[in-house]
Amino acid sequence: MVLDNPDAVMTHLRFNPVRMLIGGELVDGTHHAAVIDPALASQCAVAPMATPEQLEQAVGAAKAAFPLWSATPIAERRRRLHLFAKVLESNVAELAAILTLEQGRPLALTRVEIERAAMLLRALLTIDIGDDVLRDDDSGRVILQHRPLGVVGAIAPWNVPIGLAVPKITHALYTGNTIVLKPSPYTPLATLKLAELAKDVFPRGVFNVINGDNDVGALMTTHADVAKITLTGSIATGKRVVASSASTLKRLTLELGGNDAAIVRKDVNLDQVVPALFGAAFVNSGQVCMAIKRMFVHSAIHDELVERMAAIARDTAMGGGFIPNVKLGPVQNQVQFDSILSVLKETKADPRARFAVGGNALNKPGYFIEPTIVTGLSQGMRLVDEETFGPVLPVMQYENDEDAVAQANAGKYGLCASVWSANVTEAQNVAAGLVAGTVWINRHVGVDPLVPFGGTKESGLGRQFGKEGLLSFTETRALYSPPGA
């Protein structure tokens, strides 16, 4: 089975349609929705859509499976999750091809997404989440226990579907919870296929995957039997989840939008940093929460840096993800495509804006927007203040570090930031003033599974990864025992 072109993948899906996983059984939906190939802006497949009754079945199955799974020794939970990682690794060709069809990212990069998901999974399993002894003396013994919560409702986004769903699955199941996962209805195919491939890895009901629109997600966030919601999405969606989950005081892990800033000091080596900056800004056509969304460049090097980045943009191949040597794919969906074009139209109307490169949709089928770099902007402009989430980068000048930090910290976002400098000590001093959950020096983008990741301000609640992220899927209980117990 060679899945190296859209027609082959569509034929494969037609003869092997995806289904949902509920209580250990693969089930169809009572109705189906079209899935759009963003490289052609046309239907490539259909996916089953869950009814409210099927959501109830999935939550009920997860609830019924919880007592046995939560009591399963951690070594056995770890073993089964390693088997899950092997499913990813053994089926990377099929999963990556399906993912490229529905998401648009070049095939070589969706393969990396699948492989990296397995790597992140295995790394998380090396973290010790056992009980902690806080005291053991003449006054008695105190043990801090980390007990699973129950059913976790997980909502994954369309930009990195497998790469962001697998850590949610791992966090939930490793800590003894059961899960109901809902992928984005824009990109459900690879996730539903993964559920099919992993159907027998876990006991029935431990791992459930349904597809549905926002109404199904809303029902999940209000469901009395769902103990925790883990979401990667927009700030607006996160706020709706907070409001709807308030009646049951659900535990929340929300990784939301990031209008991430990069500060580039005048002492950098442009030969070294320009390719890295371009890659960190335009990765996945800018559709990554932690990508560079705003760049602040010292005035002494601003013009040269912009022209060098524009030159890379002009030489970057953009097209369908199955075309060899393509580096950037389309924007994933019509709604996001229209939103980005709206921002570009508004920016073009501002006399201060200068487009160093790009600024238009490509004259071809699909949701393609040229890699775009804009200068001359400032705070108060939509392209600067909001997360565009596409292949568009505003570059602003600054004169001193204090000014750069103040501009970078402006606004409601606080996910990630970076400082670029030949002097690491001075870069660390600049980094100390940045308000963000993650700050890099001389790099940008990428998580370490052993290090907690999440946002400040309106960029999220809680953390994923690291021991802190895993334990946020548990309830802490202090157990007091008498001396000598």
Joined together, the tokens standing for residue 10 give: 């569509």
- Which residue of the set 255, 370, 387, 458 is catalytic? 255
Report the mean per-residue pLDDT for the chain.
97
Same domain for 198 and 303, yes or no, is no
Domain assignment present for residue 483? The answer is no
Instruction: Using a pLDDT cut of 70, give the percent of the chain over it.
Output: 100
Q: What is the pLDDT of residue 1?
A: 72
pLDDT in tens, 295-342: 999 999 999 999 999 999 999 999 999 999 999 999 999 999 999 999
Domain assignment present for residue 312? The answer is yes
Domain assignment present for residue 218? The answer is yes
pLDDT in tens, 139-186: 999 999 999 999 999 999 999 999 999 999 999 999 999 999 999 999
Q: What is the pLDDT of residue 345?
A: 98
Joined together, the tokens standing for residue 124 give: 């998380």
**pLDDT higher than threshold 90 for residue 484:** no
Same domain for 312 and 209, yes or no, is no
Same domain for 311 and 435, yes or no, is yes
Domain assignment present for residue 158? The answer is yes
Same domain for 93 and 231, yes or no, is yes
Domain assignment present for residue 453? The answer is no
Same domain for 116 and 89, yes or no, is yes
CATH of the domain at 14: 3.40.605.10
Domain assignment present for residue 400? The answer is yes
Same domain for 168 and 216, yes or no, is yes
Average pLDDT over residues 272-290: 98
Domain assignment present for residue 484? The answer is no
- Which residue of the set 44, 94, 102, 289 is catalytic? 289
Same domain for 77 and 45, yes or no, is yes
Same domain for 201 and 298, yes or no, is no
**pLDDT higher than threshold 80 for residue 76:** yes
Domain assignment present for residue 30? The answer is yes
Same domain for 247 and 155, yes or no, is yes
Say whether 89 is catalytic: no
Q: DSSP for 363-393?
A: SSSSS-B--EEEES--TTSHHHHS---SSEE
Instruction: Using a pLDDT cut of 90, give the percent of the chain over it.
Output: 98
Same domain for 153 and 40, yes or no, is yes
Phi/psi for 231 (5° steps) reads -135, 140
Same domain for 292 and 246, yes or no, is no
pLDDT in tens, 369-379: 999 999 999 99
Whole-structure pTM over 0.95, yes or no?
Answer: yes
Average pLDDT over residues 263-289: 98
Residue from 369, 347, 345 nearest 358 by CA: 369
CATH of the domain at 282: 3.40.309.10
What residues contact 51, with CB distance under 8 A and at least 6 apart? 29, 30
Same domain for 284 and 378, yes or no, is yes
Say if residues 206 and 69 touch (Cβ distance below 8 Å): yes
pLDDT in tens, 249-272: 999 999 999 999 999 999 999 999
Count of domains for the chain: 2
The residue segments making up the domain with residue 158 are 6-256+458-478
Distance CA 169, CA 237 (A): 20
Say whether 307 is catalytic: no
**pLDDT higher than threshold 90 for residue 214:** no
Average pLDDT over residues 107-124: 98
